[in-house]
């Protein structure tokens, strides 16, 4: 319903969406919601800014992924199961927080690769602009980042009392021991084919909590609380 109703104003750099509500007399009224890059940045608490880059050198990101234990050829698709265990867990968290998909989470595309690279190397990256650009692509018919987890957060920010149909809610569950056990296995690979464990590098040398808290807690937990 969101993508069928939304429009983009190129001059204003804004996304517009009509929302139907009931007034105090129980009559239908239309309210126009406006979404900008700054709204994405504020609501998701991403702490980037307009001066941060949205593209990083391809050579930098590809070399970095090999340092993370990646074991197959780099192309336009990156497979989560081809990383050593510590980085596999990190990729899993970022993919679930920001991926455009409803399923198929073993595949990570180039923009996720850039986000992870910048997080670990502590480089600036304009995640908010990247998200907004893909939302605009959807409106134009390219349907790339079709299912961002945070659209409801953007709507709730401007229309706190927006009615919701329980049947339309996507139920998400916290990670448990079963999920962790699945992450600790390499489906389809023999032990000698598993990626060798690499030492942690960059800003997560002392642990992965920095990356996970910034991406998963700030985005996923807020979404869970509102879903």
For residue 13, the model assigns a pLDDT of 95
DSSP 136: H
In this prediction, residue 14 carries a pLDDT of 96
Q: What number is the average pLDDT over the span 148-169?
A: 81
16 phi and psi angles, rounded to 5 deg? -115, 140
Confidence at residue 202, expressed as pLDDT on a 0 to 100 scale: 64
pLDDT digits (tens, 9 = 90+) for 177-206: 887 777 777 777 787 887 776 666 665 655
Mean of pLDDT over the chain: 77
Domain range for 144 is 2-226
Q: 171 is written with which tokens? A: 């139920």
Overall number of domains in the chain: 1
The per-residue pLDDT for 19 is 86
pLDDT per residue as tens digits for the range 52-111: 999 888 888 888 877 777 777 766 567 777 887 778 888 888 887 777 666 666 777 778
Q: How confident is the model at residue 208 (pLDDT cuts 50, 70, 90)?
A: very low
pLDDT digits (tens, 9 = 90+) for 98-143: 776 666 667 777 788 888 888 888 889 999 999 898 889 888 876 6
Q: How far apart are CA 165 and CA 214, in angstroms?
A: 30
7-9: strand order across its sheet:
7-9, 14-22, 28-35
Q: Residue 217: what pLDDT?
A: 40
Q: Is the pLDDT of residue 15 over 90?
A: yes
């Amino acid at each position: 319903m969101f993508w069928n109703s939304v429009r983009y104003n190129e001059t204003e750099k804004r996304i517009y969406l009509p929302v139907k509500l009931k007034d105090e007399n129980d009559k239908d009224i239309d309210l126009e919601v406006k979404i900008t890059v700054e709204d994405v940045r504020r609501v998701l608490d991403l702490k980037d800014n307009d001066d941060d880059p949205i593209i990083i050198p391809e050579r930098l990101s590809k070399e970095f992924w090999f340092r993370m234990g990646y074991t197959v050829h780099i192309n336009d698709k990156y497979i989560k199961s081809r990383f050593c265990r510590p980085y596999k867990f990190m990729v899993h968290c970022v993919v679930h927080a920001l991926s455009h998909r409803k399923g198929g989470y073993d595949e990570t595309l180039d923009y996720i690769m850039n986000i992870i690279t910048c997080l670990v190397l502590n480089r600036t990256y304009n995640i908010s602009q990247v998200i907004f650009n893909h939302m605009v692509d959807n409106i134009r018919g390219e349907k790339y980042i079709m299912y961002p987890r945070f659209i409801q957060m953007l709507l709730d920010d401007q229309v706190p009392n927006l009615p919701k149909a329980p049947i339309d809610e996507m139920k998400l569950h916290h990670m448990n021991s079963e999920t962790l056990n699945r992450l600790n296995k390499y489906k389809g690979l023999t032990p000698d084919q598993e990626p060798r464990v690499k030492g942690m590098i960059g800003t997560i040398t002392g642990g992965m909590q920095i990356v996970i808290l910034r991406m998963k807690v700030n985005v996923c937990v807020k979404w869970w609380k509102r879903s």
